[in-house]
Amino acid sequence: MKAARPRPGGSARGGFTLIELMAVVLIIGMLMTTFTVRLDALLPATRGEEAGRMIIGTLDQARLAAISYGREYAVQFDLDGNRYRSLSPFDEEGRLARDPEDRQAAPWQELPSGVRIAAIFDHNEEITDSGVYEIRFHSLGGADEIYLQLVNDAAEGAALTVHLQALTGQARVLRGAWEPVPVTEDDL
């Protein structure tokens, strides 16, 4: 590496001028503005997937708590308010709640803007599209099978379905609006 030659009448140049630094900051700022505008256009499309992942996280947490504590845990969905929360079987004092109204509830979690719960289909082919729906996880981790349809209005009505499997209580996200397939005698 070569040493810098001293300038006539002064010492070696050791850095950037203020104008050079300001130019670099200005260029970075312009690039970030362009990137932010393009990113904002993509965000509405990912809000439905974010909602699906958040719901699966809450369902998994309730399932694992039911298995760990050997008690029934639940998750409630408020279809009119586009929100959900988990419920423990214990009251505020940490004892087993005798009345379902005394169960300790986590705060409501709001769905991302533009995403809504369209309907919930249960294993009996019942459709719930308003009110509060409760899913209960048994002490072995199982639950009733449901298909929870999410619609992302911000992404031109893109639909996702959260499918909760009955035997295992595991959940997954499916693209599109899925419904349960009725079992017939031919299936047996």
150 in Cβ contact with 51 (< 8 Å): yes
49 in Cβ contact with 162 (< 8 Å): no
Structural domain includes residue 56: yes
Structural domain includes residue 65: yes
pLDDT digits (tens, 9 = 90+) for 14-44: 777 888 888 888 888 877 766 655 554 566 6
Structural domain includes residue 37: no
Per-residue pLDDT band for 146 (boundaries 50, 70, 90) equals: very high
Structural domain includes residue 88: yes
Q: Which residue has the tokens 């809504």?
A: 116
Q: Is the pLDDT of residue 113 over 60?
A: yes
Centre a 10 Å sphere on the Cβ of residue 6 and count the other Cβ atoms it contains.
Answer: 10
Structural domain includes residue 172: yes
Per-residue HEC secondary structure of 52-100 comes to HHHHHHHHHHHHHHHHHHCCCEEEEEECCCCEEEEECCECCCCCECCCH
Mean pLDDT, residues 44-57 taken together: 86
Task: Tell me the CATH number at 60.
Answer: 3.55.40.10
Least confident segment among 81-85, 112-116, 178-182: 178-182
Per-residue pLDDT band for 8 (boundaries 50, 70, 90) equals: low
Find the domain containing 157 and state its range.
43-187
Structural domain includes residue 74: yes
Closest CA to 154 of 37, 56, 49, 58: 49
Structural domain includes residue 3: no
Per-residue pLDDT band for 179 (boundaries 50, 70, 90) equals: confident
Structural domain includes residue 59: yes
Q: Is the pLDDT of residue 110 over 90?
A: yes
Q: Which residue has the tokens 């009505």?
A: 157
pLDDT digits (tens, 9 = 90+) for 69-78: 999 999 999 9
**Tally of domains in the chain:** 1
